[in-house]
Amino acid sequence: MILVVIDPGHGGRDPGAVSPDGEQEKEQVLKIARQIKALEAGFGGKVRFYLTRDGDWELSPEARANLANRLQARYFISLHQNSDRKHQGRGVEVYALAPGGEGEKLAHRLLESLVEMTGLRNRGVKFANFAVLRLTKMPAVLCECGFLGTPQEAEIITKPSFHRLAALAICKGLADYLGCPFRESWGTDSLSRLQQLGLLPLDIEPYEEVTWEEFASVVERLLDVEGKL
Ligand SMILES: [Zn+2]
């Protein structure tokens, strides 16, 4: 199992970039992070995501990096949205600490995937001495998923459909980098829905193999629910 720490930037009193309509970066990137977590099942148990924050609280760059180091995560992906002084910037860029390492390779994969799936401008892979990149002991990248400060782009990147797309793009790029399969449709959501309906037992493991006997009993329960038995 490969543990990947997903780090939604900012939080608490630090909103990050703000769109002309008042949408805050800290909320946008948390939504993307939660979507990534929701897509975890698509990796068939090979990848686990851990969020540095799953709510609106403040975290220093050191705390984010320390958390990833303590968990001995294999990769660290920080999520941000951009802003520039003239409110004209557009596009996606992915940062790594320095050229030549695994961080740069991962950055290229994520960037390609983000550009392909979101259709936003490709601003390239860049290098920066950001604290979260420097202090993490594993390959680490920082994705700037569009410009929240630019009115036309803010309109696109604050939509739930964009959060989903960006999350999907990051999962696909990561799967590509890791050389492992990823299927969007595998969802733990459907599993828990069917459990609530009483169609599936509560104590199953999502990736356990199913026997014909078990399959037959699920069909039986389904027919029962439909009133056909
Ligand atoms: Zn930011």
How is residue 163 written in tokens? 């959060």
Is the domain of 166 the same as that of 194? no
| Strand pairing report for 2-8 and 122-127 | unpaired
What pLDDT is stored for residue 229 in this prediction? 59
What pLDDT is stored for residue 162 in this prediction? 94
The residues that are catalytic are: 144
What pLDDT is stored for residue 141 in this prediction? 98
Is the domain of 192 the same as that of 215? yes
Is the domain of 131 the same as that of 200? no
Is the domain of 30 the same as that of 128? yes
Give me ligand 1 centre to Cα 39, in Å: 23
183 in a structural domain: no
Give me ligand 1 centre to Cα 180, in Å: 29
pLDDT digits (tens, 9 = 90+) for 179-212: 999 988 655 667 778 888 888 888 877 667 789 9
What total of structural domains would you count in the chain? 2
Query: Domain limits at 207?
Result: 188-225
Is the domain of 199 the same as that of 174? no
What pLDDT is stored for residue 158 in this prediction? 95
Is the domain of 80 the same as that of 146? yes
Give me ligand 1 centre to Cα 108, in Å: 19
Tens digit of each residue's pLDDT, the chain (229 residues):
999 999 999 999 999 999 999 999 999 999 999 999 999 989 989 999 999 999 999 999 999 999 999 999 999 999 999 999 999 999 999 999 999 999 999 999 999 999 999 999 999 999 999 999 999 999 999 999 999 999 999 999 999 989 999 999 999 999 999 999 998 865 566 777 888 888 888 887 766 778 999 999 999 988 887 776 5
119 in a structural domain: yes
Is the domain of 220 the same as that of 112? no
Q: Which residues contact 33 (CB under 8 A, 6 or more apart)?
A: 6, 7, 8, 51, 54, 79, 167
Is the domain of 33 the same as that of 99? yes
Is the domain of 87 the same as that of 42? yes
Q: Which residues contact 99 (CB under 8 A, 6 or more apart)?
A: 127
Angstrom distance (rounded) from CA 150 to CA 148: 6
Give me ligand 1 centre to Cα 210, in Å: 44
Is the domain of 171 the same as that of 217? no
Give me ligand 1 centre to Cα 212, in Å: 50
DSSP code of residue 86:
T
Is the domain of 203 the same as that of 94? no
121 in a structural domain: yes
CATH code: domain of residue 147 = 3.40.630.40
